[in-house]
Structure 1
């Protein structure tokens, strides 16, 4: 039993065939087909067997432009199924696990996203979450008619309004609006369906939604920004924040900062769950785990590591040698917090570009460790009890075996220590995360939308 009776939250963040850039080449049975739904169904069912809270599918809407002849198999960008489509299918082959998908506010519209996630929440029986991101790269912008990505602060201003509109659309139908009164010929009560008529800086949205209020009221909102703008958005709007931290002290600082920010918005800090991303290499002994780590590193081409470093930094390093130290890089309009973490790593550890690239392509500025199941459980326990995390987003290096190892070997240890549950506690993702169902905003504040309803 943990000292304060808390139980950790566990998610798994599935990169197509593994987060490690050499991971797709590692399985003894050969590479998986990233277009094969059965691959993802197996992973979600395995995570559910381990009683994990969330299966998380990330996304990007672009493919990196590879210069010259250094083409490489970047599995993060090849065979990337659209995540909300994937979640709809996974909801049919699972029963309890939460399903979270990344969808950008930069190249979407609030009405379509509100409708999509409300539909998913109904289809899944209340198990859906939306990872709210702003797009960070020009490779995405060019797919939507723009030469370059929108400025960082401007993207977050748009995201704030976007999330507000989506939440109001989810509330545009009251919980008991659908009456299905066949004798009276009334399927719904018009007085309980609300016009939004939002007219803001970025969006004009009439509403109401044409889907009833989601089972969870609002699907879970997840956020992953680490910049000041990203932290402010998460503190005000998110139920859960994914983060990348590479030390317990850094994790504790971030944890305390996010809880304090949530309180400034009048929230109970316990309603914002802070979930660092971690990558584990597991084996029966430390020596075997270290060998696995080296084997995986040898499967990463230098060209892939170098290209990934440039993408993460938002900088052109083509004038540099792999044996050079990282030069000064201009602040990007993309992922500023990730860039800051990478530059700090390079300076503090005095890394060459080759060394930095291998580190970044493996850990993406988050924490990666190799060890035995007991050592991994010790790590999770230490960070959890020392208020560095409310839980963890487990990011398997290779699939399916790395996820299997965690579920089969680490989860039982955490359960025996009283740190993780032994079964699902409720029917919805909110229930299982210990989060309350939001009150309908139109009911709480009748001035929010136009009254009376548009059909009255």
Structure 2
């Protein structure tokens, strides 16, 4: 299986991480912490580190830290202390320009020897627009239309130097072949970009593209452009259906379904015993309290806080249609399906939904059992590990979970490749697709 570790919300996926952990609250601003995380993850053979980026702190204010440091800068820092692990960073198609982003991530890919991925996200948070000139935030369809064009331009920029364009022949004085370097001359509804990039294509052809949209529109975009899909899936059958749907959509674009890797998030709370893991989880829950977690759940599903009564069943009947929801449709569907399938009260849902991802609390053996079941069922090609508390949760993964997975033959013993694309088993980078896919029913 493929394993990436997600660095979320500054000091861990759990909202109470900054309160429960040892160390200063300011550690999420520390170069030393990111270096430790990078070295630890590589020592465990994880395929990649996945760095989320929150462009503002307006959602959480001063309540807790968030992952608002500049992604490319943090990836560059971690690259300097590692040699093999992949480094994936989030960058928005809503609040960036394609030329700048293509140049930034291609620079990182060159400097790391081909270990970089870009997590493309069509930002839905309406508060971010206030930092970028104000005005009206884009609706769901507009965000994805802009993102489609954005990704297409980035891919063409990454391909603007053909293989072999850099000659470097000192005797003839030929640095690069002009006939193999192309302007892209793109003019579209959202962008006008002449190209080319100012330097050759990267060691892995182009950076790996991650994408996380789970709405029908997001799925179609991922099937067309992405190499890896990050998704939230609580219920096993939902996860199987999602992966099947994504592979069918990829095939509709003429792609080999195996060229698209599905890595659902899994929130882990590990312990050497079941009781130890549960005590860790209880501590994380207790220090932050019910109120903030209730507000977070309300935002995730699009209900007023007062509609959520802790010891009553989750009120799914009060939800409006997905089409009117302003947040992540994928997160919302996954959480609601969990609540309905298991008939949970609001309190039970808060305890079980893992901040938005399938949650497992227990020993390495119990976590491995869960992962193995999902892998065998066709629900995943691997997992994005949502680390509860940093850096201790990552140390638990490396010290407890990785040895158990290796013992079962489910995880590689060591790195066999130098580029992220090869490490993930993706094959050569394909050019951007030219034709639209046939219509695919929403899952």
Given the two structures, how large is their TM-score scaled by the length of structure 1? Answer: 0.88
Q: Which 5+ residue runs of structure 2 have no aligned equivalent?
A: 435-443
User: Quick check: 1:60–1:140 contact (8 Å CA) kept in 2?
Assistant: no
Correspondence 1:45 to 2:39: yes
Distance across 2 between alignment mates of 1:254 and 1:65 = 29
Q: Any idea what the Cα deviations from partners look like across 1:130-186, whole Å, max 9, x if unmatched?
A: 001100111112111234431101111111111111000011111221222333333
Alignment partner, residue 386 of structure 2: 395
* Counterpart Cα distance in 1 of 2:105 and 2:140: 25
| 74, 86, 111: which one aligns with 1:98 | 86
The residue number in structure 2 matching 1:341 is 334
- Report what 2:207 is aligned to: 219
The aligned counterpart of 2:438 is none
Distance 2:302 2:53 in 1: 18
> What is the number of equivalent residue pairs in this alignment?
428
* Residue number in structure 2 paired with 1:163: 151
Corresponding position: 1:75 with 2:65: yes
CA contact (8 A) 2:302 2:319 kept: no
Give, in whole Å, the separation in 2 of the partners of 1:29 and 1:151.
41
Partner of residue 450, structure 1: none
Q: Kindly provide the CA deviation profile for residues 27-73 of structure 1, in whole angstroms up to 9, marking residues without a partner as x.
A: 2455461110110111111111111101010012122257xxxx753
Q: Retained in 2: the 8 A contact 1:14–1:58? A: yes
Cα pair distance change 1:396/1:135, threshold 3 Å: same
Does 2:419 align with 1:428? yes
SS of match in other structure, 1:406: helix
Residues 37-436 of structure 1 mapped to structure 2, 5 A cutoff: 37-64=31-58, 73-76=63-66, 80-314=68-302, 316-317=304-305, 326=315, 327-329=318-320, 331-348=324-341, 356-357=349-350, 359=352, 363-436=354-427
Asked if 2 retains the 8 angstrom alpha-carbon contact of 1:174 and 1:440, the reply is no
> For residue 12 of structure 2, what is the aligned residue in structure 1?
18
1:343, CA displacement in angstroms?
A: 3.8
CA distance in 2, matches of 1:353, 1:285: 28
Partners of 2:305 and 2:135 in 1: CA distance: 21
Change (3 A) 1:166 1:299: same
CA contact (8 A) 1:138 1:147 kept: no
Question: CA separation in 2, counterparts of 1:185 and 1:207?
Answer: 24
Listed one character per residue, the Cα deviations across residues 100-133 of structure 1 (whole Å, up to 9, x for unaligned) are 0000101111111110111010011000000011
Deviation digits for residues 173-206 of structure 1 (CA, Å, limit 9, x no counterpart): 1122122233333322211110110111221111
Q: CA deviation at 1:329?
A: 4.1
The verdict on how the C-alpha distance between 1:421 and 1:357 changes in structure 2, with shifts beyond 3 A counting, is: closer
Q: Given the superposition, is the C-alpha separation of residues 199 and 415 from structure 1 closer, same or farther in structure 2, using an over 3 Å criterion?
A: same
Spell out, residue by residue over 1:384-428, the C-alpha distance to the aligned partner (whole angstroms, 9 max, x if none): 122111011111101111111111111112112211110111110
Distance 1:383 1:340, change over 3 A: closer
Tell whether the 8 Å contact from 1:46 to 1:407 is kept in structure 2 after alignment.
Answer: yes
Retained in 1: the 8 A contact 2:3–2:383?
yes
CA distance in 1 between counterparts of 2:424 and 2:335 reads 32
Distance 1:295 1:132, change over 3 A: same
Question: Offset of 1:341 from its aligned partner?
Answer: 3.0
Change (3 A) 1:401 1:304: same
> Cα–Cα, structure 1 residues 440 and 179, in superposed 2: closer, same or farther, change >3 Å?
farther
1 CA distance for matches of 2:24 and 2:99? 42
| C-alpha distance in 2 between matches for 1:145 and 1:349 | 44
Partner of 2:440: none
In the alignment, which residue of structure 2 is the partner of 1:449?
none
Q: 1:402–1:85: structure 2 CA closer, same or farther, 3 Å change rule?
A: same
TM-score normalized by structure 2? 0.90
Q: 1:344 to 1:248 in 2, by over 3 A?
A: closer
